[in-house]
Amino acid sequence: MKIEKVGVVGCGLMGSGIVEVCARAGYSVTVSEVNQQLLDKGLAAITNSITRAAERGKITDEDKKATLGRIKGTTNLEDFKNCNLVIEAVLEDMARKKDIFRLLDKVCPKTSILATNTSCLAIIEMAMSTQRPDKVLGIHFFNPAPVMKLVEIVKPIAVSQETVGDAKTFAESLGKKVIFAPDSPGFVVNRLLVPFIIDAIRIYEAGTATAEDIDQGMVLGCNHPMGPLALADLVGLDTLVMVGNAMYEEFKEPRFAPTPLLKKMVAAGRLGRKTGRGFYQYS
């Protein structure tokens, strides 16, 4: 199937990045939010990101204008009725995601692919809330989506090989490298990354080393581009808790379980970069 028009549900951190990536690749993109205030905030973030890319010479002023011209915002999911592909990118709440997929199933053409950007939830549950489970899968981008080169294509057991092939072609058209993963919490990357970050938090919580020393140890000792605690702040500590809990519920392995400190930081609203404070403070 030829994909020309893309819908994105959610214009937060991940949704806005996905919109930018798709629009810069030449797709017409419609993005939704639950109210005008959140939509305006998300669209402003997209405009600022594309403007910075132009200022840094990564795209021309003509490309900037053309990219912004391909983006349309809405607060009504009915506006996805002409989309060939819709990517859901809202918070990790299964009930909410199922509601979105039910509505998209009614609104979108029967040939359209419905995808989720979830990091940890069971995609088959979303698929079975529709009448087209063969056309539902995961297209998992990484933060920040305009920069990170990887996309995980996640295959629930009901998806067709044709849908998987169309999703792969689409992701590669964005300039991304594709890997495939089963519909299992954490997929490939987070299955490895989350316990690594949680172990770093355990070391910090035990007083073994400072946050700075832990991160410097991994950056300078293992040539990682970013230390695990700085990365936790970038990902979002609330997201880390959600993914860790989902993986622990599925596998019952203690290494996946969020630590007491991590849960307390989330309860206190210290979620990392997006709130200005996590393991580090941000201006």
Q: Are residues 212 and 81 in the same domain?
A: no
Task: Report residue 201 CA to chain centroid gap.
Answer: 23
Q: The CATH number of the domain where 247 resides is what?
A: 1.10.1040.10
φ/ψ bin of 280: left (φ > 0), alpha (ψ from -120 to 50), beta (otherwise)? beta
Range of the domain at 39: 5-182
Half-sphere exposure for 197 (CA within 13 Å, toward CB): 28
What is the pLDDT confidence band of residue 1, given thresholds at 50, 70 and 90? confident
Assess whether 136 and 95 both reside in one domain. Answer: yes
Same domain, 101 and 220: no
Separation between Cα atoms, residue 88 and residue 139, nearest integer Å = 9
Amino acid 47: pLDDT: 97
164/211 same-domain check = no
Domain membership of residue 188 (yes or no) is no
Residue type present at position 108: C
- Please give the pLDDT value at position 283: 81
* Tens-digit pLDDT profile for residues 199-214: 999 999 999 999 999 9
Both 131 and 64 in one domain: the answer is yes
The answer to whether residues 42 and 18 touch, using CB atoms and an 8 Å cutoff, is no
Q: DSSP characters for 193-204?
A: HHHHHHHHHHHH
How far, in Å, CA of 19 to CA of 13, rounded? 10
Judge if 111 and 251 occupy the same domain.
Answer: no
- The amino acid at residue 215 is D
Q: Can you give the CATH number for the domain in which 169 is found?
A: 3.40.50.720
Same domain, 121 and 248: no
Domain boundary among 159, 182, 205: 182
Task: Please give the pLDDT value at position 155.
Answer: 98
Domain presence at residue 282: no
Shared-domain flag, residues 228 and 134: no
Looking at the structure, do residues 78 and 161 belong to the same domain, yes or no? Answer: yes
pTM: 0.92
**Could you list the active site residues?**
119, 140, 152, 190
Percent with pLDDT over 70 in the chain: 100
Of the candidates 236, 129, 128, the residue with the CA atom closest to the CA atom of residue 190: 236
Do 167 and 203 belong to one domain? no
Beta strands in the chain (DSSP E): 5-9, 28-32, 71-74, 85-88, 113-116, 136-141, 150-155, 177-182
Give pLDDT, residue 12. 93
* In a domain? residue 283: no
